[in-house]
Structure 1
Amino acid sequence: MSIDASTTMLADDISDTDSAFLGHPKGLGYIVFTEAWERFSFYGMQALLILYLSSYLLLPGTIDNVIAFSGFRAALESLFGPLSTQALATQLVGLYIGLVYFTPVLGGFIGDRYIGRTKAVIVGAILMAIGHFLMAIESAFLFALLFLILGSGFLKGNLTAQVGQLYKDGDQRRDSAYSIYTIAIIVGAFAAPLICGTLGEVFGWHYGFGVAGIGMVIGMIIYITGRRHLPPDTQSRADDKQVRALQPGDGKRIALILLLLAITALFWTAQTQVWNTYPIWVKGRVDREIFDLTIPVSWFQSIDTLAVLILAPVVLWLWKRQSNRNTEPSDLTKISIGFLVFGSACLALAYSEISDSSEKISLIYPVIFHLICSVGFLYASPTILSLVSRSAPQSVNSALVGCYYLAIFFGGIFSGWLGRFYEVMAPSSFWLMHGAIVASGGLLILILRGPLLNAFVKK
């Protein structure tokens, strides 16, 4: 699946004079607002999921009403061993997060080759809306997750690809278009826990899930309304593409890129824990009282997004200043720094448990955690994706970019498996373990920096 290839094929159908939306094609506006609402629904549901499972749905008496769950649990335990209620909750969330990032690889292929990206996005939106509303029906929980996973697979990659299709090759507006698109993601991710999370925690789980479903419906309506402004679909065939054969040395480069992506799974193991065991820790260990008000646990997910939004300009300014002085770190060094910084964020959580002798942990510690880990995320995640897409051989470029999301898949599942240890370890030891996991990834990159440079530096 290649955005650039599709853009070239559609060049005759794209107008470089369309600037109706902030100087960009009108279609970008429809895509951006669709994505904002889709992310609102996605993160709204995800902010509630671990709390919903661990404190309600999986409890005896309630879980008995979920269709086919006993067989599903038996299958899980055959893979991961016996699971307590809380361990089952974290494993489920880890599996869900992992699959949500695995299915876009398949959904993008289907949209690119068979049904077209527009139809794929609409199918995905419908499936996700059904999934969100099914979350309000306890007995249909497994079907709800299935619809959400499949829907995200169809929608996520295809909608992102359509941004690039709006522009001819060489159009300088494309980079800023993706920046606007990223802002839409951040806005949706920031608002979702505040609205869906509050409704779910304070008024009832089903209200939160229902509003997430409404958000997805709004996004779908926006997308369908603007359909005539979107890029036309062109299904590509293998024999239509002029694929360049692998060159001498590409095999070694591919192997080293895959090695880096395997190490990246260690980063995502800690990162996805923010949506998994971390809310359980916040609920049980953090003093959330401010002026007789109790801060909902889900709001901490908004703090995480807000920290990225605030610190991104600071990190970019720092890189620009370092570049002007010829001191900007290499991409591999940035990635390693990101891993180590994220590891230090986990150490901050461990320190809060060790240093704070009160019954509850001060609110300042999770705030510090989010500020630190957002810096680690900004150094690591975008740099990895950019590095892989730029360095991978052209004939397998899309496949290796897809492997970036497979790292999130494995990291999510591993984080779910690690969640079981929260019950048997001291919280400080649990977060020290995660700090060591992600920091070890940073150290591995430094150790292997020499060989990895052969993959990412063209001589």
Structure 2
Amino acid sequence: MSSINKQKIVDSVPQKGFFGHPKGLFTLFFTEFWERFSYYGMRAILVYYMYYEVSKGGLGLEEGTALAIMSIYGSLVYMSGVIGGWLADRIFGTSKAVFYGGILIMFGHIALSFPGSLSMFFVSMVLIVLGTGLLKPNVSTVVGEMYAENDTRRDAAFSIFYMGINMGAFLAPLLTGALMKSYGFHWGFALAAIGMFFGLVVFLITKKKSLGLAGTYVPNPLNAAEKKKYGSLTALVVIALAVILGITIPNGMFTLDVFINLVGIFGILAPTIYFIIMYRSPKTTATERSRVLAYIPLFIAAVMFWAIQEQGSTILAAYADKRTQLDFMGIEISPAWFQSLNPLFIILLAPIFAGMWVKLGDRQPTIPQKFAMGLLFAGLSFLVILLPGYFSGEDALVSPLWLVLSYFIVVLGELMLSPVGLSATTKLAPEAFSAQTMSLWFLASAGAQALNAQLVRFYSADSEMLYFGSIGGAAIALSIILFLLAPKIQVFMKGVK
């Protein structure tokens, strides 16, 4: 997009109206609030829906299978963002991507609200994966389009926007968890659909007057030849997939386990290909190649970190349901409520961390050192959760405070690694691959979830201590290695701090 078009977009947006920010920030804040409300509300109860018995309103899947599906689902959500970004950049623009994505997400949650239907469950997963891939990356892009490049309000805008994300993520599990407990799963999923509906209503009613031209431009539209090329390629892929699935599924060759393994392979293969292409490209300078090499150990650390953090919605969710004393101080706790801890701690601690980095200035740890500390906290969060089993035994219910402590520790690591990782990605990215490197950063979460789909199979009540100890210990060992290598990595970063 040319600088002229960028300025034209900024000029079309009313620049005052929401806490000193452009009016459109209100639209995008509440659109994303309701989208995250629907996503995290659904996610908080989804794993229980899969493995609870049919008599309790669930699907009756084996617990290990349910945990693996949950991980694969998370991996596909992150992967789909790459496709959603491409469609917005090349075909219909970010505003339409947000709207189409919201529609798909809403219908996905509606499909989930039909009780006890396995077929509708898989339909809903496809709709939500595609919808989130369209909406999630593109709504953030629209936020950036409302501000001129030198507008000092930009960082504050994303902070406000990020607060909307975490507010929705905090409130939703409390409400859907309560509905699950009192009325059944389908009411919780219905609430998630209603949440996305509210987000779409806010977006449609306010976007015309508040967003101006933001989100309407297609930055790199397909020309006639490209439309023909990609149209033919898409048709061939669809036909090939239909033929392959039509042959393999009836013959029992394409099973759920096969699908999980394929996603796992792709979760590792995709970022590997990205790194090779960026490093070998003639558009990448010698300095940028050095920075790509420096980014690799940070990426590996991010995969390990997210592999632990994302188990908050799988392994720790099951732990909350089956190993935790849910009658605490006279309050009957829903296991889904623990999913609200992560966004709550982020809301409380993010300003403290931001102020701490500003106060430390040049004395703050380097980027690799922050990654190492983030990974260290992630490992400690798993070691903490094995302690109650060690002291109380495998059969005793443990205090919910152990889970609270585990979630708190991993959030300390998240605030060390996640925002720093976003910043480091923009700084280390080769100029010719700036947007794709940001997609690569999100593939760290996709790869982590794909890895989790394999790891969660080893979790059981009998292997609980070994499971938490092995993964937590591996993370701590990797953090120590990364900390020792930090000075060398810093050299390869060629001046980036």
TM over 0.5, yes or no?
yes
Whether contact under 8 Å (1:31, 1:163) holds in the other structure is yes
Partner of 1:77: none
User: What's the offset of the Cα at 1:436?
Assistant: 2.1
User: How do residues 402-421 of structure 1 correspond to structure 2 at under 5 angstroms?
Assistant: 402-421=439-458
Matched, 1:51 2:48: yes
User: What's the offset of the Cα at 1:400?
Assistant: 1.1
Deviations, residues 350-384 of structure 1 (Å, cap 9, x unaligned): 11221235821112211111221111110011111
User: How do residues 41-80 of structure 1 correspond to structure 2 at under 5 angstroms?
Assistant: 41-56=38-53, 62=59
User: What's the offset of the Cα at 1:120?
Assistant: 0.7
Partner of 1:180: 160
Q: What is the SS of the residue equivalent to 2:364? A: coil
Letter in 1 for 2:18: F
User: What's the offset of the Cα at 1:431?
Assistant: 1.4
CA distance in 2, matches of 1:88, 1:382: 32
The structure-2 alpha-carbon separation of the partners of 1:259 and 1:215, relative to structure 1 and needing over 3 Å to count, comes to: same
Partner of 1:210: 190
Partner of 2:217: 234
Matched, 1:248 2:286: yes
Deviations, residues 227-256 of structure 1 (Å, cap 9, x unaligned): 22221522123899xxx9422232332233
Matched, 1:11 2:7: yes
Matched, 1:343 2:361: no
Matched, 1:386 2:416: no
Whether contact under 8 Å (2:9, 2:145) holds in the other structure is no
Partner of 1:353: 389
Q: What is the SS of the residue equivalent to 1:226? A: helix
Deviations, residues 290-319 of structure 1 (Å, cap 9, x unaligned): 244320001101122211211222223333
CA distance in 2, matches of 1:327, 1:170: 27
User: What's the offset of the Cα at 1:29?
Assistant: 0.5
CA distance in 2, matches of 1:56, 1:146: 23
User: What's the offset of the Cα at 1:267?
Assistant: 0.8
Query: In the alignment, which of 82, 87, 90 is matched to residue 113 of structure 1?
Result: 90
CA distance in 2, matches of 1:102, 1:185: 20
Partner of 1:328: 364
Matched, 1:288 2:315: no
Q: What is the SS of the residue equivalent to 1:14? A: helix
Query: In the alignment, which of 58, 62, 69 is matched to residue 92 of structure 1?
Result: 69
Question: Which ranges of structure 1 fall in alignment gaps of 5 or more residues?
Answer: 64-83
Partner of 1:220: 200
The structure-2 alpha-carbon separation of the partners of 1:38 and 1:285, relative to structure 1 and needing over 3 Å to count, comes to: same
The structure-2 alpha-carbon separation of the partners of 1:103 and 1:457, relative to structure 1 and needing over 3 Å to count, comes to: same
Whether contact under 8 Å (1:7, 1:169) holds in the other structure is no
Q: What is the SS of the residue equivalent to 1:132? A: helix
Tell me the C-alpha RMSD between the 2 structures. Answer: 2.5
Partner of 1:446: 483
Letter in 2 for 1:384: G
Whether contact under 8 Å (1:421, 1:430) holds in the other structure is yes
CA distance in 2, matches of 1:101, 1:115: 20
User: How do residues 244-283 of structure 1 correspond to structure 2 at under 5 angstroms?
Assistant: 245-283=283-321
Identity rate of aligned residues, in percent?
A: 28
- Give the number of equivalent residue pairs: 431
User: What's the offset of the Cα at 1:184?
Assistant: 0.1
Whether contact under 8 Å (1:124, 1:152) holds in the other structure is yes
Whether contact under 8 Å (1:101, 1:405) holds in the other structure is yes
Partner of 2:273: none
Q: What is the SS of the residue equivalent to 2:438? A: helix
Partner of 1:23: 20
Question: Which ranges of structure 2 fall in alignment gaps of 5 or more residues?
Answer: 224-281
Whether contact under 8 Å (1:348, 1:369) holds in the other structure is yes
Whether contact under 8 Å (1:269, 1:438) holds in the other structure is no
The structure-2 alpha-carbon separation of the partners of 1:363 and 1:171, relative to structure 1 and needing over 3 Å to count, comes to: same
CA distance in 2, matches of 1:130, 1:36: 18
Partner of 2:151: 171
